[in-house]
């Protein structure tokens, strides 16, 4: 079970690292999902949504809905708290950014 928890912490860290490259811009949530897969973090869409919700609840990322030509897209943005975690200014036991 501990290995599974560590995997979850690393996936959350990878999400933040990917988002940091776009800061202050946003990434389409499905693009982010496929970028994780490209890095070898293959998870279900449900698991991905769960990790994003966790990070939203921890105020490390935020979601925005954008509408264009009748299509609604969920965009994800890293917050200053997420950047502080990546920079080592704060710690969060549920997120591993040390890799």
CATH number at residue 20: 1.10.10.10
Q: Residues 20-77: pLDDT tens digits?
A: 999 999 999 999 999 999 999 999 999 999 999 999 999 999 999 999 888 999 999 9
Q: In the prediction, which pLDDT does 68 show?
A: 82
What pLDDT does residue 61 have?
97
| 52: in domain | yes
Instruction: Look at residue 53 and tell me if it is in a domain.
Output: yes
Does residue 35 form part of some domain? yes
The pLDDT score that the predictor gives to residue 69 is: 87
- Whether 12 is in a domain gets the answer yes
Residue for token digits 């990790």?
Answer: 51
At 78, give phi and psi (nearest 5°).
-75, 145
Q: Per-residue confidence at 78, pLDDT binned at 50, 70, 90? A: very high
Strand order in the sheet with 61-68: 27-28, 71-78, 61-68
Helix (H) or strand (E) holding 73: strand 71-78
pLDDT at 82: 97
22 falls within a domain: yes
Question: What is the pTM (predicted TM-score) of this model?
Answer: 0.93
* Domain that includes residue 16, residue range: 2-86
Q: How many domains does the chain divide into?
A: 1
Q: What is the pLDDT of residue 57?
A: 97
Asked, for residue 65, whether it belongs to a domain, the answer is yes
């Amino acid at each position: 079970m501990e290995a599974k928890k560590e995997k979850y912490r690393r996936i959350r860290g990878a999400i933040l690292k990917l988002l940091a490259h776009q800061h202050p811009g946003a990434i389409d949530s499905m693009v982010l999902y496929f970028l994780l897969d490209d890095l070898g973090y293959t998870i279900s869409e449900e698991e991905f949504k769960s990790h994003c919700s966790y990070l939203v609840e921890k105020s490390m990322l935020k979601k925005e809905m954008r509408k264009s030509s009748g299509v609604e897209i969920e965009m994800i943005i890293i917050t200053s708290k997420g950047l502080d975690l990546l920079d080592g200014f704060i710690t969060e036991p549920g997120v591993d950014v040390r890799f």
